[in-house]
Structure 1
Amino acid sequence: MNRTSEAGRAAAPSPPSEDRYRRGARRTTAEPLTASWEPAGRHRRKRRRGLKGLVANYGWRIYAVPVLLVLTALVVLDTAAPTKIGEAGQTGADNAGGAPGTSTSSGPPVATETPPAKVDLVNIPTAELPDGPKYSEQGAGTWQVVPGGTAQAGTGRLYKYAIAIEDGVDAADFGGDRDAFARTIDGILADQRSWIGTGRVAMQRVDSGPVDFTISLTTTNTTHGLCGFQIQYETSCWHPPSERVVINAARWVRGAKAFSTDLAFYRAYAINHEVGHVLENPHEGCKETGQPAPVMMQQTFGVANDYVARLNEVDASNRGRVPADGKVCSPNAFPVAPR
């Protein structure tokens, strides 16, 4: 035991010399790695205080701090402020990151569509053609049938019809697509609110063979020659000798003031009104103030009985049909009320 202790004491290493920790001193492989506590220089440089000290210690970075603080404040303010309608030209679905029809403001939703302006149906000349795009005034007096047909719509007596466009009508008047123009008319006549909804008639478009009538988009001057121009406002008509429903291009393009900006609603009225004459329905007046006008009322001119009656004084065929009784209806495009 004593020998072992002595041998152990003899084998014990001597304490490490402090020289090993000096910079550049060589260490043996048996020694642990240690970091020098001395700085790179023999004497540490004294830090300066104040602005000069900050500049000396941090260099150009010290100037970026105020700029970053200002930018941060601006971002916070911009994020917290509510978005106003009209800023950056965006509202509703145009808001970046917003769902369609929503706003980033905390207030109630704001309508993104401008409602049509209300029309004074009594005190202004509603028969005047509204302002709008150009339309075809002079055509050749000949028509080209649009190819295509439909299945029968409705029950009762079947009326076959064709659709044609006068030579000389600018393509812009019917949207540049003859087939789409024809489909619009097919859709109107196949609507259950149209004449097939009465249960007494059926409609079918054909492009050959005998027809009961042809719906013809026609220039204004040709329309005047077929329909007459006693009431000197643009209108359409049913022309029995040629079995043509003459649709005036001016009205198809611009509509009528009583219908405000709802051009599709007016076009449905124009087709249903003139096809109503094919079915031997005469003109009517407003039956009750505030109610939808009969489709056989001359709504192209207006929906006030007094005004329409005054216009009809120059037209012997219509004189006295509408009483000047002060009744005013609302515009209506269909002969059958919605169910």
Structure 2
Amino acid sequence: MMVASGAAVAYYQDQRGAATDGTAAVTGDMLEGNIRATGAAPAPRPSDSPEPSPSPSAPSASPSASAPASSAPAGIPATGPGTFTTARADGTVVGTGGHVRRYMVLVEDGIDVPASEAAAEVSAVLADRRGWTRDGVNAFRLVGSAPYDFVVKIATPGTTDRICGAAGLLTRGEVNCSVGKDVVVNLKRWVLGSPQFDGPIGEYRALIVNHEVGHRIGHGHEGCPGPGRPAPAMMQQIKGLQGCVANAWPYERDGSYLGGPAVP
């Protein structure tokens, strides 16, 4: 699938609210560097990427490291202009399910993440047979313009705080969030991952995408199913694995669902 950078899209929102360390959603989920996109913005709740339990239609937030919003690691700008470049694409549908969800990928201007590369990475996660297409219900299509069902935005910590804060979430420069149709991925989490996730950065990014998209299609948080077993993609892994093994995918390669007990 070919993806090319497109025009910048301005985005602005005030900052307010509360969240934690990973990702935030207006539904209040604290994820480990993930975000979840949803419909209308309901009252805030925390979440994690695994985030705390959000409802499919509400935004969520998730926890990650506990550095102040004013600090940012070398090479990661603390904030940006708040405008975004859209990855231009007319991708093919991945998955055989009848519910095709159209999505866009946007990257904040001024950061060293090409929109085309980010879109290719997100689309590869959603196309993977270990992902949500394995349920036989959902399919996905990367697009470069409206109409769309959700948008994945990669943003600096400061811009993440502004977008999420406008929905009443306090992301503290550390977490991701899901607000309305926006899945906001904190650049710090995209680049650094999470100290709680033992695996390559590509796998952690897959966890971010799978956790947040999982919320978008109706999944809530899940707990560890037992010591030594894979942590569910819908588990708030940033809060601790509880004996499980870090895992980014909702399904095994053989199609078995890697779930766990529902978490309120």
Deviation string, structure 1 residues 207-235 (Cα, Å, up to 9, x no partner) = 12210001111111121233355575722
> Which position in structure 2 is the counterpart of 1:268?
206
Aligned residues: 184
Q: Percent identity?
A: 34
Deviation of 1:132 (Å): 6.4
Cα distance in 1 for residues equivalent to 2:173 and 2:115 = 27
Cα distance in 1 for residues equivalent to 2:176 and 2:105 = 15
Deviation of 1:334 (Å): 0.9
> Which position in structure 1 is the counterpart of 2:182?
244
AA aligned to 2:100 is L
User: What does 1:8-157 correspond to in 2, within 5 Å?
Assistant: 127-128=64-65, 133-154=74-95, 155-157=97-99
Q: From the superposition, tell whether residues 227 and 288 of structure 1 become closer, same or farther in structure 2 (CA, over 3 Å).
A: farther
Cα distance in 2 for residues equivalent to 1:296 and 1:134 = 30
Q: Which has the higher contact order (CA 8 A, sep 6+)?
A: 2
> Which position in structure 1 is the counterpart of 2:174?
234
Deviation string, structure 1 residues 115-142 (Cα, Å, up to 9, x no partner) = xxxxxxxxxxx94279965313212223
Cα distance in 2 for residues equivalent to 1:192 and 1:220 = 31
> Which position in structure 2 is the counterpart of 1:335?
250
Is the contact made by 2:161 and 2:173 (CA closer than 8 Å) also made in structure 1? no
> Which position in structure 2 is the counterpart of 1:159?
101
Cα distance in 2 for residues equivalent to 1:149 and 1:284 = 34
Deviation of 1:167 (Å): 2.6
**Which structure 2 residue ranges, 5 or more long, are not aligned?**
1-62, 255-264
Is the contact made by 2:106 and 2:115 (CA closer than 8 Å) also made in structure 1? no
Q: Calculate the TM-score normalised by the size of structure 2.
A: 0.63
AA aligned to 2:84 is W
Cα distance in 2 for residues equivalent to 1:179 and 1:198 = 27
Cα distance in 2 for residues equivalent to 1:233 and 1:297 = 22
Cα distance in 2 for residues equivalent to 1:230 and 1:162 = 25
3-state SS in 2 of match to 1:276: helix
Q: Which has the larger radius of gyration?
A: 1
3-state SS in 2 of match to 1:146: strand
> Which position in structure 2 is the counterpart of 1:82?
none
Q: From the superposition, tell whether residues 282 and 136 of structure 1 become closer, same or farther in structure 2 (CA, over 3 Å).
A: farther
Structure 1's consecutive aligned runs of 4 or more residues displaced over 4 angstroms after TM superposition are 129-133, 228-233
Is the contact made by 1:127 and 1:233 (CA closer than 8 Å) also made in structure 2? no
Greater share of helix residues, 1 or 2?
1
Deviation of 1:144 (Å): 2.0
> Which position in structure 1 is the counterpart of 2:222?
284
Deviation of 1:298 (Å): 1.8
Deviation of 1:335 (Å): 1.0
User: What does 1:160-309 correspond to in 2, within 5 Å?
Assistant: 160-168=102-110, 170-171=111-112, 174=113, 177-228=114-165, 230=170, 234-240=174-180, 243-260=181-198, 262-299=200-237, 301-304=238-241
3-state SS in 1 of match to 2:151: strand
Is the contact made by 2:157 and 2:173 (CA closer than 8 Å) also made in structure 1? no
> Which position in structure 2 is the counterpart of 1:107?
none
Is the contact made by 2:84 and 2:106 (CA closer than 8 Å) also made in structure 1? yes
Is the contact made by 2:160 and 2:171 (CA closer than 8 Å) also made in structure 1? no
